[in-house]
Structure 1
Amino acid sequence: MDTTLADPLVGRLVDGRYRVESRIARGGMATVYLALDIRLDRTVALKVMHRSLAEDPAFVRRFCGEAKAAARLSHPNVVQVFDQGSDGDVVYLSMEHVPGRTLRDVLRERGRLGPREAVEALIPVLAALGAAHQIGMVHRDVKPENVLVTDDGRIKVVDFGLARAMEGDRHTRTGMMIGTIAYMSPEQVTEGHADPRSDVYAAGIMLFELVTGRQPYEGQNPMSVAYKHVHDTVPPPSALVPGTPPQLDALVARATDRDPDRRPADASAMLVLAVETHRSLPHDPEGSPPPPAPATQAVSLPPPSDAAPLSTAASPPASAPNRTLVQPRADLPDEETGSSDQESAAPARRLRLNWFLVALALVMVAAVAFSGWYFSRTSYVKVPADLVGKNVSAARSEAESRGFRVRLGKGVHDDKIPKDSVVRTEPAAGTEVETGSLLTLIPSLGPRLVGVPELSGLTEQEAKKRLTQAGLKVEKISRISHNEVQRGRVVRTSPPAGEEVKIGSKVEIVVSAGIALPDVRGMERDEAERVLQEKGFSVRVREVRGSGRSCTVIEQEPAAGTAVDKNETITLTVTRCMPEFSWPWGNRDDDGDGDEFIINVPDVTF
């Protein structure tokens, strides 16, 4: 029977927008359909969550949050998320449709890749992961099944955030680990914690697989593989494929170091190493290398009950060993149980119920019980919103009292948040994170300040231009009389030059209006000249006949009160000065009108 025809969603219009045309693939977590977005008239891949997950409010909430975060991730090597929503019991994700196949399909068809070709396939994957890490997003399930190869050879990564969405409260309370065992970092196994370095580890495992054609660890069950991730060192690819360049061995070893602190800090850092490695690798020989012998194939793991992210390519579901696994961390064997796989193969020893086996069984039960208790302690808390705006020291103390590990990030300028107060947190306020997670406080450096430039002596236009270049505005222009600064030139600013103010602040410019010319009319010539010269003017005198007192200023040019510059020439009009002399028979009249004399007639004796 055709399962596509039997699928009730085929032919349905979901959310009044997406017409489902056919089913592409089905996994334990979701089913992917080819659909037409009738609003935008484009083909999309519609990922519909299984009903068992859609009925879990905690999952739906996380799924929507992660979908929104993934939609912000725009990168040519990332399958773009267009939309998310629900229609009754259908919870969906609308994504870019990428015709092609997965990297798993390529490995299945061709076998292992040459070293140079393998690194070339890894570089765009690291570029996509690096873009995600820059915005605080961790993929958590990097593997060939989640890497798509388009028909024209482009590589795209899919399913950002879906493993994170699986981590609902109902899982974490029982100590679950979410991911694909074959690619899971040691800290994901032991702590359930994933950060950018966990994606780097998975990328290193994937590079190992691309070069060797197999995964580094085998086991009789998923937990035995997980045990090896925690306790063993990933072998160099050259141990399985002789002739593998040592620089590729070094790249795999660096990415898969069991200590996260010794790995590249994120995918961008590993991308730099990968590009450097690629430059040093010789060209691969013509033709694909032969697939490895059957003995090197990874052992198949039983399929999980409900967790297999699907690609948007029309390819069959991933094989069971590489499906996303939902598994109790308490099942991780300890040192003795991990090494007892070979012993358990002997039926006689399993049936021998002596005191040693009884004691061993009790130890195992106690270990499993302790592990279950230990890992079930994991809980989630929300990043508090009330840290924003608080003093950094107070916010740090409060966050630490709530169980966060705290560090200070690089400060940023902010016009509203006072200096040394918290501008924002990373992760953002309201984000749900594990108890004990690292919380970064971003402190405020206060508003961005700029010094008021020195404008003295500039013209108005020059001063305005200089302020604009400094990011400041002209509030107003004031004019004052000034003896020293030329008329029309800047005397000073308010605030004064050199004072730091907010960018965009207004500055008053004070401009010289020159010197107000004093009124010297009515003064005698000598006095008028002295007054003007003391103020720095040059004086030119023009005498005219007049009816008033001689040597008196009757006019001045420019007129009194006019704004003039220092050293300007002032013309004075003065009544002609009469020389003083004595008459033999009399003296000038002292009334100053120049028309009378007193005649002294001497006594004459006749």
Structure 2
Amino acid sequence: MKTGYILSGRYKIKNTLGEGGMANVYLAYDLILKREVAVKLLRLDLRDDPGAVRRFKREAISLTELAHPNIVSIYDVGEENGMQYLVMEYVQGMDLKSYIAKNFPFNYEQIISIMEQILSAVAEAHAHDIIHRDLKPQNILIDSNNQVKITDFGIALVTSEYSLTQTNTLMGSVHYLSPEQARGSTVTKQSDIYSLGIILFEMLTGRVPYQGETAVSIALKHFQNEMPSVRDFDEQIPQALENVVLHATAKLLTDRYASVTEMANDLGTALSLARSNEKKWLPEKSNDEETKILTPLREKDLKKDQKAAEDTSRNKKEKKKWSRRKKWLVFGISFLIVILLTTVTAIGLMLPRNVEIPDLRGMTEVEAKSTLKDLKLKVGSVKQRYSSKYYYGQIVASRPKEGTSVRQNSKVNIILSKGQEKFKFGDYKGQSYTTVKNKLEAKGVTVLNEKKHSNTAAKGEILGQSISKNRKVIWNDTTVTFTVSSGAKEMILRDLTGYTRKSVQDYADELGLILKVKNDAANSSSSNSSLTVSQYPAAGTSIQSGQILEITLANEAQNSSTKDSSSQSSSASSNSKSNSFDVNVAIPFDGTTQQSNPDGSKTNKIEIYLQDKDHRLSDVYETQTITKDTNVTLPFTLDNGTGGKYKIVRDGTVIAERDNITHNGN
């Protein structure tokens, strides 16, 4: 898989971590949770191999049942374009094989610390009846803090579902294979204990106990050769520590540790002073039968033997006198008895006997047929139902259920998984994003959003969705992105003085404003000459679509007359010396306010009061809604010798006011 490829729209491949016989492992970045993960991808040449796919899925099932600090966590399971993949915890470090090669030799306390973590993880798996079957240093990861993580449960065995290994098939690495695995016998939890003993051997000596040119030759040594002594490699190794290796790698299951916990307890005291003089551990030997001593023959015994010989000779003579008829009678009776016994035995073998239905859960239909055939049972009806635990095509349950005793040739009905149930996604346009998000996340959906301005939709309203409303989805495997309205875009209102009504209307339509006209001269003959003489809100005010823009119109003649009158008035009253000027005021934004929009953003409501020649302080001059620090310009017209005032109120509280403002701004 190429670097940069995004798997399932979420996991971006960064580089390759390793390649194996069944799967390749990649380092990837989770674009949603913003973290590095390990992606294990089934090799493309194996995606049509049912056995490989089954083992790969079995690893996912095994890992989902295990939650332990020394077992790699699984985050996600999926399939894309026929590619099976697992998303797992990324452990930054190296495998134990590389760690041994780099750090050997290391002290016994460190070896025991690492082994105790491994044993703790395996004990957790065994507690869930999961046998790893492929324990080896290559499947044990260790980070910079010496924390151990066991991985690769691809051939793990669930004891409740299967009882035997695949005949004549050696799974896992042959250097760590138990004798019973090498022979193709039953695999038990003690098989993992044997592998753990080999791992401890390698950590103490830096090498594996058996070498050979072929895998078969090494496998033979596991159940034929005596385990080499670790003290032959290093005589400083305590005998008690070697005894743990010998006890764990005993050839017979009866001599081996019965459980991982027993091995952990023994290992935990291996360096104690109380065991410093411990003798070498040896497996128990079976007792031979005692030799019987024969007493010498005595004279009385010889006489008895002589008499017995004479009696035998006499009996032989008497037997010769039996008639031929009696001999044939005895022969006939014996023959009939043999025939009768043979017939009864054959009938008994031919009659069906009772067998116990095995646990078929997790098997495919083909696997179930093969398993039942070995027990002389048949598959009956096949039904399907949804399941969140088993993959599509795996058996969910059987009827009668597992463990039930039935006669041979009986039929066993099975229920196959249809996979997880899919539901129609639905249409969420026009609904509140917060409400929909809470609803979908409760079902396991990953919900994302992107903002977009809208002149028609309120803030927080859903404008669109990345998944079609009719598409059927599995809730906990679904990621949706909603387009959410951030409200109308804020605009600064321009100065409309001198604009015609048509120009103002075009401008209002462009911004999505509602135009309201006062003193409209549209019905007069000079309507085409009507011009704007005032507006509300004032020029420079922040405004959004949907708000009202109010203007006052007068015709051009009126404007001209007004201007002439103003000029004359200005000339006539030039002695009054009225002055017009602007005062800039900074309004700080308060982020602790309780005022908020549907999308969660904070706002302040601002009211401005102004007193000059044309305004009274008791009247609201202007109202604004701000979302950040804002500067406003206040226009004042004052007669000479008079002063102006202003007051700023934010959410009902006065935050700024000034008295005695003069024409020079003081």
Q: Larger relative contact order (C-alpha < 8 A, sep ≥ 6)? A: 1
TM-score bracket for the superposition, by shorter chain length: 0.3 to 0.5
TM-score, normalised relative to structure 1: 0.44
